[in-house]
Amino acid sequence: MTRSICRIVVTALFLLLAGSLSAQSGYQPRTVDGTGGSSPQAAPRDLPAKNPSGLTTMWVRRDAADVFDSAKRDANRIAELKKSQPVAVIAKEGLRYQIQLADGRTGYIAKLYLTDIKPVGGDEGFKLFASDDIGAGEQANVESVRGLRKGSEDAAVAEGMEEIVMEQLSSVENLAISISEDQVSQFLEEGGVFPI
């Protein structure tokens, strides 16, 4: 009986090990360039690659990255690139790299937004949240679940939570939700804070 259990455990372990080599899950601290350290999704590293025009290809590694008309801090935004999108890099100088857009225009993008590691499957590999990439149209949903979920309110009451604390949290939730992107942009501009 014991031997039998042992054999099952050992075989299952062997198969699990083999399976986990190809699995893309579990916590892996990310490296600062977002490439996943030693995680499986970091491979294959098949760069530096040259695109047909002879320029180096890199990929956008954040959800949205602004492209500007110059490398200066007060440059104008001319385009927005999406995560995993490839870009042709013309020059890697300074903090903003010069790139060529798909329509032929040239622009500048902060080097922090780019990685030379080709994304596998178009994403970072590990999916933790069911709605990790919340589209703009879903934002209303995100707001609607704030403080309005009856179940959690009832549960809080059942837990005997202080009413004053619940009111305080609702108040700051409403305040946070009332802040628009335009207000944030204006706030930054007034403070001399320029996103890169």
Partner 1 sequence: MRKLIFAGTLLICAGVVACTSSQLATATETGMILAGKDPDKARRVGASVGQFAGGMSKEISLDDEVALGRGISLKLLEMKGGLHADNELQRYVNMVGHAVAERSDRPNLKYIFGVVNDEEVNAWAAPGGYVFITVGTLRELESEAELAGVLAHEVAHVQEGHMVRVLKKMQVQTGISDALKATDSDYEEYGQSLESGLRVLVENGLPWEMEYEADTLGSEIATLTGYKAEGLRDFLGKIETPDDDDAEGGWLSHTHPPVSKRIESLGYHLDGKLAGFDGASQEERFAKYVTNRLAKK
The residues in 114-153 that bind partner 1, with binding defined as CB under 8 A, are 127-132, 134-136, 138-139, 141-143, 145-147, 149-152
Cβ 7 vs Cβ 13: under 8 Å: no
Rounded Cα–Cα distance for residues 142 and 89 (Å): 36
The kind and range of the H/E element at 114 are strand 114-115
Dist. CA 107–CA 70, nearest whole Å? 7
Distance, in Å, from the CA atom of 170 to the CA atom of 168, rounded to the nearest integer, reads 5
193 scored as a contact of partner 1 (CB under 8 A) = yes
**Are 89 and 60 in contact, with CB atoms under 8 Å apart?**
no
User: Which residues on neighbouring strands pair with residue 91, listed in sequence order?
Assistant: 98
Using CB under 8 A as the binding rule, whether residue 26 contacts partner 1 is answered as yes
Size of the site for partner 1 (CB under 8 A): 84
For partner 1, which residue of 9, 43, 49, 102 counts as binding (CB under 8 A)?
9
Minimum Å gap between C-beta 125 and partner 1 is 13
Binders of partner 1 among 152-191, rule CB under 8 A? 152, 154-156, 158-159, 161-162, 164-166, 168-169, 171-173, 175-177, 179, 181, 183-184, 187-188, 191
Name which of residues 66 to 125 contact partner 1 (CB under 8 A).
Answer: 73, 94-95, 110, 112-113
